[in-house]
Amino acid sequence: MEIKGVTHWPFDCSDRLGEIESWFGWTIDGKLLIASALPAWVQAIFWRHTGMKLLLGSGGFRTEQRVTFLVKQMRSFFGDVKRILFVPYALADHDGYVKMLIDRGLHAGYELDGIHNHADPIEAVHHAEAIYVGGGNTFRLVTELHGRDMLGIIRQRVRSDLPYMGVSAGSNVACPTLMTTNDMPIVMPPSFETLGLTTFQINPHYFNGQTHVELADGSFQAHFGETRDDRIREFHEMNDMPVVGLWEGGVLRYENNKWQLKGSAARVFLKGKEPQDMQADSELGELLAS
């Protein structure tokens, strides 16, 4: 039996599959599924030493320089993959989204296969070579994924062998929950649970400091709504998971069991500790494992 994902478990359990299945879950296609009964963040801890590959972007890939950067990241991440299954559910106009990515060169030359064109999206995930979840409204995206019962199959395939790219809302859903999104709850998902591919939360489009609004006469007026750091502090008043505030233009890349920060800085928030600023090209592993 081919078993992917358990060989690097904290203990070698390959000879005890029957027993483990009866505790936790079942096998499909010969791959062990850790029970969906376990919370996503617990599953994420079990699975973090697999051959999983993630490319998680903040967003703001609007300037030529940033587009060039992202395209390079995509080329080296996806390699000789031909078709990428694209998930546009965070926006209302699915065809328009695919077209916009191609027009802006954000497909990096790969063929984008919109999942909305498949009669059976779960089957499409089963057969995908790679998956890319686009940005937009995170609540809408999560509602759509739950509604189509797709979280389990995406999680299973990505933990096994499917390269996963997310941008913005697509990075939010790679985390254990959607709780560190910046979006308005325009629809009600059945739960805040997301894919749990990471053991930490991401706050995309992160920036720090107070916001100032430019007025018609060109002057700036202070804006006293919560800063991002305030919002993340509030998150930690109620929750424990680390949060990575990822500046626009940056990506977090997970390969060979290592987290690399590329293209921008990030601020890492650990509950009860001073936030730590990380520069592009840092490795985030130990910080995030704590």
Q: Is 143 in the site for ligand ASP (CB under 6 A)?
A: no
Q: Which residue is nearest to ligand ASP (CB)?
A: 135
Closer residue to ligand ASP, CB minimum distance, 14 or 191: 191
Cβ at position 200, least distance to ligand ASP in Å: 15
Cβ at position 72, least distance to ligand ASP in Å: 21
Q: Which stretch binds ligand ASP (CB under 6 A): 92-100, 154-162, 178-186, 190-198?
A: 178-186
Q: Is 168 in the site for ligand ASP (CB under 6 A)?
A: yes
Which among 52, 51, 70, 50 has a CA at the least distance from the CA of 60?
70
Q: Is 204 in the site for ligand ASP (CB under 6 A)?
A: yes
Q: Which stretch binds ligand ASP (CB under 6 A): 94-102, 175-183, 238-246, 251-259?
A: 175-183
Draw the binding track, 89-128, toward ligand ASP (x: CB under 6 A; -: no contact): -x--------------------------------------
Cβ at position 88, least distance to ligand ASP in Å: 11
93 is catalytic: no
Cβ at position 167, least distance to ligand ASP in Å: 7
CB count within 10 Å of CB 267 equals 20
205 is catalytic: yes
Q: Is 182 in the site for ligand ASP (CB under 6 A)?
A: yes
Show the tokens assigned to 53.
């590959």
Which position among 57, 88, 135, 166 is part of the footprint of ligand ASP (CB under 6 A)? 135
191 is catalytic: no
Write out the DSSP string of the chain: ----SSTTSSS--GGGHHHHHHHT-EEETTEEE--TTS-HHHHHHHHTTSS--EEEE-S-TTSHHHHHHHHHHHHHHHTT--EEEEE-TTSS-HHHHHHHHHHTTTTTTPEEEEGGG-S-HHHHHHH-S-EEE--S-HHHHHHHHHHTT-HHHHHHHHHHT--EEEETHHHHTTSSBSTT--S---S--S-SB----SSSEEEEEE--S-EEEEPTTS-EEEE-SPPHHHHHHHHHHH----EEEEETT-EEEEETTEEEEESS-EEEE-TTS--EEE-TT-B-HHHHH-
Count of residues that bind ligand ASP according to CB under 6 A: 13
Task: Name the active-site residue from 58, 160, 168, 171.
Answer: 168
Draw the binding track, 33-62, toward ligand ASP (x: CB under 6 A; -: no contact): --------------------------x---
Active site residue ranges: 168, 183, 205
Residues that bind ligand ASP (CB under 6 A): 59, 90, 135-136, 138, 168-169, 172, 181-183, 204-205
